[in-house]
Structure 1
Amino acid sequence: MNATDSSAGPMRVFAGLRIAPEISHTLAQDARVLEQSAVRLVAPADIHLTLVPPWNETSIQDVAVRLQTVAEGFCPLSLTFTRLGYGPRPERPRLLWAECAGTDEISTLRKALLETCGQSDERPFRPHVTLARIRGNGTAIARRHPIERILSLTQEVTSIELFKSPPAGERGYQILASLPLSAVRVGQGNRAKHDVTN
């Protein structure tokens, strides 16, 4: 685990999953149909799945240690992308995203991460990666560029990442720490420390 501590005040950070390069490049290519529209495309290197929404953190080393404790209790898991489309509300889209299967494993991991980070998120959990943020009239853009199809892309997730958000107006996420999912699988599911049936 490598974590950079901040001596210059709080950082805007979040916890999430890094997307495999071959998948992020495929998804970014799908989004390029919108590049002439009023949208902000997400660079392939910045495509990620957020598990804990951003918060201001002053001790990066401390939060990295807490995230590592969670990661050690989970096995690597499969992340499956199931649908490409507009969201979160198709009739008034603000994003182009790729939705992922909401498995027990990823839901349980998210819950544990929220607790250890002292954060909460009352919104229904819809695991997804954002490919473009719509700046203009989302309804008109979606009408001009109907993008709705089933996906069948799967990657193995072997770590969780602590990301640093870029300053306002800038782009590019920085990985401050990468924490391996290192529990040994016993039987079925993540049952080393976290039983997904609970």
Structure 2
Amino acid sequence: MPRLFTGLEIPSDIGFLLSMKRGGLNGARWIEPENYHITLRFIGDVDNATANDVADNLDYLSESLRFPIRLTHLGTFGGDKPRALYAGVEPSEALSRLQSAHERMLQRAGLPAEGRKFVPHVTLARLRGTTAMDVARFIAEAGRFEPMSFSVSRFVLFSSRDLVGGGPYVVEQSYPLAA
């Protein structure tokens, strides 16, 4: 059974700049730059027939237009028990529309609704045993986060192994966006 999700790839030059944030945070398992991405919709473990239906139905969403993405800050998930360090994405109507279209299409394909609010981000590290104070210190010492921008010209269907997360991720199919 494949484990699937849809997302946006991070260009290698942006990935390199993000990777410069690595190091100096106890309990961090750093994600490899080639596995950086922005998840649009986690699908999960599905049978091969469902995977094929999802891949076919995603073709209908490639009529969406290309748009820019801007990474603006470092943040964490988990509050007092941080579990991930990420680069946050500036809110974008185009990104929200694309993500909502993925959600609607996958629900029509019979998948359950995503229970979590969409918070676009690039996970930089998974955290274990890291305190909120450790993360606050790391972010403060990292200095000013210089915003990074790139243009999104396609979205992809990724597969992953059933592990803790962090890759490796495989692009199963790509879907170009309209110019």
Q: Output the TM-score relative to the length of structure 1.
A: 0.77
Counterpart Cα distance in 2 of 1:144 and 1:102: 26
Q: Deviations over 1:84-131 (max 9, x none)?
A: 23x125544221110001211100100100111224224332211100
Q: Secondary structure at the match of 1:32?
A: coil
Counterpart Cα distance in 2 of 1:26 and 1:82: 13
Counterpart Cα distance in 1 of 2:43 and 2:57: 16
The structure that is helix-richer by fraction is 2
Q: Which moved more, 1:104-113 or 1:168-177?
A: 168-177
Matched with 2:171 is 175
Give the letter for the 1:131 counterpart: L
* Mapping of residues 1-198 of structure 1, within 5 Å: 10-34=1-25, 37-57=26-46, 58-59=48-49, 60-71=51-62, 73-85=63-75, 87-89=76-78, 91-118=80-107, 119-147=112-140, 149-168=144-163, 171-182=167-178, 184=179
Aligned residue-pair number: 170
CA RMSD of aligned residues (A): 2.0
Q: Deviations over 1:123-142 (max 9, x none)?
A: 33221110001011332422
In structure 1, stretches of 5+ residues that fail to align are 1-9, 185-198
1:136/1:55 Cα in 2 relative to 1: closer, same or farther (>3 Å)? same
Q: Which moved more, 1:98-107 or 1:144-153?
A: 144-153
Q: Output the TM-score relative to the length of structure 2.
A: 0.85
Q: Secondary structure at the match of 2:149?
A: strand
Q: Secondary structure at the match of 1:164?
A: strand
1:144/1:83 Cα in 2 relative to 1: closer, same or farther (>3 Å)? closer
